[in-house]
Chains A and B, each alone.
Chain A
Amino acid sequence: MSTLVSYAEVEVGQPLPTRSFPITRADLVRYAGASGDFNPIHWNQRFARGVGLPDVIAHGMFTMAVAARAVTDWVGDPGAVVEYGVRFTKPVVVPDDDPGALVEVEAVVADKLGDNLVRVDFTARSAGEKVLGMARAVVRLS
């Protein structure tokens, strides 16, 4: 396994490239099919509002999946990820329009753990709200 960045060259506090990911209703339908999670709060506005949500919301796991790219695109080999965890703090509300929602992901090298392992901490925001908390990944670098 070889990663695009090496353990020796990374520094604690180093920011990773900031990323932004649009999420549309069509993305949620496609993700529902691929993941098997057909909860109607992710595609049916009438149902979502009926259970007290402002509108259709993204699957938390979809947000978690796109946020991972801040790290996997940085290292190149997604097989370098040894841990990944998030807390879902606020839903990503996805309106029924062409731009949809935007999730903005910032990540930073938070710690070098030895044994070529690096901890990366994330923040993910959408419409000004923090949508992922305690988001962190541990990756093994070359």
Chain B
Amino acid sequence: MPLDQSFVGRSYPPTAPYLVGREKIREFATAIGDPNPAYLDVEAARALGHPDLIAPPTFAIVLSLPAAHQVVFDPALGLDYSRVVHGEQQFSYRRPIRAGDELTVTVTVEKIRSVAGNDILTTRGVISSTDDEQVATAYSTLVARAPEADQT
């Protein structure tokens, strides 16, 4: 059954504040194999004009995906998570995320589509600091593949 279109525009409560730590940034940068000194060396980050270590651009997913899970696992929406794959991801940044940031994410259902039995959900997550500075926005498109028997 297609997802309920009335969810479009619905917002969820802001996530609990996430304190971005230097060691978490270093761990993430190491995990993606990226030795850029702006992620690892505070002095190098400062030399580029940043107040502290900055996070790799895709680090925003560490905050935005759990926030989007509020929608994905909303029993009232009824998305079948076992069939979900990541379809698209977009970020826009007012500034890089950096060590010392305390951030929350407010998620809104941006779009719901149904294509050939696949449910396609796009969420928008606005990432803001706890002192109300908007830092970045993440758009995630998740596709719940139709059960094989339903595909025509």
Give A contacts to B, CB under 8 Å: 1-2, 21, 27, 30-31, 33-37, 51, 60-62, 64-66, 68-69, 72-73, 76-79, 81-88, 134
Contact = CB atoms under 8 A, between A and B. Distances in A.
B115 interface: no
30 contacts: A21-B33, A31-B32, A34-B28, A35-B28, A35-B31, A36-B65, A37-B65, A60-B86, A60-B89, A61-B61, A64-B58, A65-B32, A65-B56, A68-B56, A76-B48, A77-B48, A78-B36, A78-B56, A79-B38, A79-B49, A79-B54, A82-B93, A83-B91, A84-B90, A85-B89, A85-B139, A86-B88, A87-B87, A87-B88, A88-B89
A35 B27 CA distance: 9
Contacts of B31: 27, 30-31, 33-35
A87 B141 CA distance: 9
A6 B89 CA distance: 28
Given A61-B89, A83-B93, 8 more contacts: A1-B50, A34-B28, A35-B61, A73-B36, A77-B48, A81-B93, A81-B96, A134-B88
Nearest to A67: B58
B88 A88 contact: yes
Nearest to B92: A83
A83 B32 contact: no
A51 B87 CA distance: 17
Interface of B: 27-28, 30-34, 36, 38-39, 48-50, 54, 56-58, 61-62, 65-66, 82, 85-93, 95-96, 139
Contacts of A83: 90-93
A51 B66 CA distance: 23
Contacts, number: 104
Contacts of B96: 78-79, 81
Contacts of A21: 33
A62 B38 contact: no
Contacts of B86: 60-61, 88
B33 A84 contact: no
Contact of B91 (A69, A85, A134): A85
Contacts of A33: 31
Given A1-B48, A61-B86, A66-B32, A78 B57 contact: yes
A73 B91 CA distance: 19
B65 A65 contact: no
Nearest to A21: B33
Contacts of B39: 78
